[in-house]
Amino acid sequence: MTIVGSIVEGNSKYLIMRERKGADLELGELVVIDDEKRKYICMVYNIEYGVLLEQGRLYTSAGTIIEKTNPKLEFPNDDLRIFRKIYLKPLIEIHNGKYRSPISIPKLFSNVRRVEKEDLSFIKEPDTKVFLGKIRSGGRILDFDYYMNGEEMISHHTIIAAQTGRGKSNLVKVMLWEIMNHGKFGILLLDIHNEYFGIGNNKGLKDHPNADRYLLYYSKTPPPGHKKLKVSLTTIDPEDLFGIIELTEAQREAISVYRRQYKEEWIKELMCKDLSNIAQSTLRSLRRKIGNLFRIRISDSGEPYCEDEIFNFEKIGEKTIFDIANALENGKIVIIDGSSIPDETGLVIMSAIMREVFRRYENYKDQGILKDKLQIGVVLEEAPRILGELYDKNIFGRIAREGRKFKIGLIAVTQMASVIPDEILANIGTKIIMGNEMKKERLKLIENSPQDLSDYDYIIAGLEKGESIVSSIFTKFPVPIYTPLFDDIAKSEKEKSEIVVF
């Protein structure tokens, strides 16, 4: 074990070590301080020069070098008066085999070394594990798989926040791949770029060995063996629109009137029948909004019809919402291909499904059988308004606030965490923070993280693709991880399955 430094200063919030020459520690690296009885795992969060010389001598020396004067005033490499000061944030204290947030500090001059896989043995694999990646020490990836307990992670909600191109979708795919190994969670996902399933030769969740059992794919144009997305508009409730599209109070009231009067035929009647107690201007605007949402047109005979293949006024797809809710209850991952429909339309379908799931799980709770039901999660991707300004009106905001009591959780994937209200962010138990150059976004996440991330601002800004910090109410410290490429995981799984044992 190579010693990389020695503790020379600090307090319970931070420690400073003098770095051994040539150790070259990096920001974000994990180090271990071995005390007599205790072991501390710390993270490098700042690096400074340490110089025990007058500043004038340093400037003079630099001048002789760059101006090429003689004699040069240089310092030998082994000059003990020049070194690097490494600022360490204590993350974990291990004492008698137990680990906890630090309540003590190591002795002065304690040796510091780089973390090794064995130092992390206190992190145990949970039963319903969800693989997030390998633990990372700075840029060095350790051969240590990091899993979170899926039940905790999903029930208490998770946010995956990053700027575009930092690997958010890859991480979600990796998580879902693992979930498909055990089938213990039902996950609903609106795939706005149609990238999760794996169309054609692209790798995707369809390549999982359990895809037949645990994956359902709904699309307007599915490959054989997969589900055609058909939704009867009779299964859409006004509640599914509220908080997804913007509606005035008058429009909401008008929708409620149609719903009361025409029951499940409310959309059809709203599109073609005037009611005397609703203003024409309200109706016109409402018809335009709903018409655009479901691509409704009016025939020459005055009958409304859906131009899109997905929706209809007949009873085609009358059980789609019900069937998907069933699949989720049975631990399946349901992907809805949202690439060919407007985002809002996809969200309305998601809303209808989650409304049905919520209704069922509320009943199960009333009957006292909720504990026997599987955890359900919904992945909400790039929908900042839904959890932002509209959150108090839609089902997703309700899930964020109350879902935990009903075993329903959110997995929000976003690059705009700053628009999510504190009330929602505070309810999200796990934050997976990936690289982000926007200070506003970083600060919002840092302020709302379960652990103190006040020293992580610069580190988060510098995270590379695939790198992230997992800050959770279920972890004792912010865990730095690297998530491998999904294609590599899918490939290695395929290779494993091709090995024939004689």
Partner 1 sequence: MKFAHMADIHLGATSDPKLKELEMNTFRKAFEICIEEDVDFILISGDLFHVNIPDLSIVKEVVKIMKKVIENKRKIYVVYGSHDYSPNAVSIIDILEEAGIIVRIGRGKIEKGLFRPEVIVDERSNAIITGISARKLSLEREVFKILDREYLSSFKGYKIFMFHTAIDELKRKGEYYEGISSTDLPSGFDYYAGGHIHRRIEYGRIFYPGPLFTGWGVDLENTVRGERRGFYIIENGRSKFIDLTPFEGIYRDIDVAGKSAFEVNNLLKEFIEKTDVRNKVVVLKVHGELIRGKTSDIDFSYIKNEIMKRGAIYLHLNRSQLRSKEYDIIVSSESDSQKIEEEIFMEVIKGKKFTEERLLSLELPKALFNQLKVQKKEGEVSLDYERRMKEAAIEVLGIKKLLEG
User: What span, in angstroms and rounded, lies between the C-alpha atoms of 235 and 247?
Assistant: 20
**Closest distance to partner 1 from the beta carbon of 255 (Å):** 22
**Closest distance to partner 1 from the beta carbon of 502 (Å):** 22
475, 130 Cβ separation under 8 angstroms? no
Is 457 a residue that touches partner 1 (CB under 8 A)? no
Tell me whether residue 323 or residue 344 sits nearer to partner 1 (CB atom): 323
Instruction: Pick the stretch among 2-10, 318-326, 341-349, 353-361 that binds partner 1 (CB under 8 A).
Output: 318-326
Is 315 a residue that touches partner 1 (CB under 8 A)? yes
Instruction: Pick the stretch among 289-297, 309-317, 365-373, 404-412 that binds partner 1 (CB under 8 A).
Output: 309-317
User: What span, in angstroms and rounded, lies between the C-alpha atoms of 382 and 338?
Assistant: 12
User: What span, in angstroms and rounded, lies between the C-alpha atoms of 481 and 144?
Assistant: 10
User: What span, in angstroms and rounded, lies between the C-alpha atoms of 358 and 377?
Assistant: 11
Tell me the two tokens of residue 353: 């499904």
Q: Do strands 30-34 and 111-114 pair parallel, antiparallel, or not at all (unpaired)?
A: antiparallel
Is 117 a residue that touches partner 1 (CB under 8 A)? no
Choice from 16, 250, 275, 316 touching partner 1 (CB under 8 A): 316
Is 206 a residue that touches partner 1 (CB under 8 A)? no
Tell me the two tokens of residue 214: 């645990």
Choice from 227, 332, 360, 407 touching partner 1 (CB under 8 A): 227
Is 317 a residue that touches partner 1 (CB under 8 A)? yes
Tell me whether residue 269 or residue 309 sits nearer to partner 1 (CB atom): 309
269, 258 Cβ separation under 8 angstroms? yes
Is 318 a residue that touches partner 1 (CB under 8 A)? yes
Tell me whether residue 160 or residue 216 sits nearer to partner 1 (CB atom): 216
Binding mask 319-338 for partner 1 (x = CB under 8 A): xx-xx---------------
User: What span, in angstroms and rounded, lies between the C-alpha atoms of 404 and 257?
Assistant: 33
Tell me whether residue 226 or residue 289 sits nearer to partner 1 (CB atom): 226
Closest C-alpha to 42, from 480, 493, 496: 480
User: What span, in angstroms and rounded, lies between the C-alpha atoms of 122 and 98?
Assistant: 8
Tell me whether residue 326 or residue 418 sits nearer to partner 1 (CB atom): 326
Count of other CB atoms within 10 angstroms of residue 81: 10
Element (H, E) at 348: helix 343-367
User: What span, in angstroms and rounded, lies between the C-alpha atoms of 457 and 443?
Assistant: 7
User: What span, in angstroms and rounded, lies between the C-alpha atoms of 254 and 419?
Assistant: 30
Is 223 a residue that touches partner 1 (CB under 8 A)? yes
Tell me the two tokens of residue 354: 């989650």
Choice from 225, 276, 367, 371 touching partner 1 (CB under 8 A): 225
User: What span, in angstroms and rounded, lies between the C-alpha atoms of 192 and 200?
Assistant: 17
Alpha helices in 231-311 (DSSP H): 238-241, 249-262, 266-272, 280-294
Tell me whether residue 63 or residue 223 sits nearer to partner 1 (CB atom): 223
Binding mask 228-257 for partner 1 (x = CB under 8 A): x-x---------------------------
**Closest distance to partner 1 from the beta carbon of 315 (Å):** 6
Q: What is the 3-state secondary structure (H, E, C) of 442-468?
A: HHHHHHCCCCCCCCCHHHHHCCCCCEE
Instruction: Pick the stretch among 252-260, 310-318, 368-376, 437-445 that binds partner 1 (CB under 8 A).
Output: 310-318
Tell me whether residue 71 or residue 225 sits nearer to partner 1 (CB atom): 225
Site size toward partner 1, by CB under 8 A: 16
Is 435 a residue that touches partner 1 (CB under 8 A)? no
Kindly report the backbone phi and psi dihedral angles of residue 142, in degrees, each rounded to the nearest multiple of 5, phi listed first: -85, 155
Instruction: Pick the stretch among 25-33, 124-132, 315-323, 380-388 that binds partner 1 (CB under 8 A).
Output: 315-323
* Inter-axis angle of helices 395-402 and 343-367, nearest 10: 40
Instruction: Pick the stretch among 143-151, 314-322, 393-401, 459-467 that binds partner 1 (CB under 8 A).
Output: 314-322
Tell me whether residue 159 or residue 306 sits nearer to partner 1 (CB atom): 306
Closest C-alpha to 196, from 435, 353, 381: 381
Tell me whether residue 318 or residue 362 sits nearer to partner 1 (CB atom): 318
Choice from 56, 224, 302, 368 touching partner 1 (CB under 8 A): 224
User: What span, in angstroms and rounded, lies between the C-alpha atoms of 443 and 219?
Assistant: 38
Closest C-alpha to 15, from 6, 7, 27: 7
User: What span, in angstroms and rounded, lies between the C-alpha atoms of 76 and 80?
Assistant: 9
- Binders of partner 1 among 20-49, rule CB under 8 A? none
Tell me whether residue 226 or residue 385 sits nearer to partner 1 (CB atom): 226
Tell me the two tokens of residue 193: 């770029």
Instruction: Pick the stretch among 33-41, 48-56, 317-325, 455-463 that binds partner 1 (CB under 8 A).
Output: 317-325
Tell me whether residue 22 or residue 224 sits nearer to partner 1 (CB atom): 224
**Closest distance to partner 1 from the beta carbon of 219 (Å):** 9
Is 126 a residue that touches partner 1 (CB under 8 A)? no
21, 88 Cβ separation under 8 angstroms? no
Choice from 203, 226, 273, 465 touching partner 1 (CB under 8 A): 226
Closest C-alpha to 396, from 227, 248, 240: 240
Tell me whether residue 4 or residue 188 sits nearer to partner 1 (CB atom): 188
**Site for partner 1, rule CB under 8 A:** 222-228, 230, 315-320, 322-323
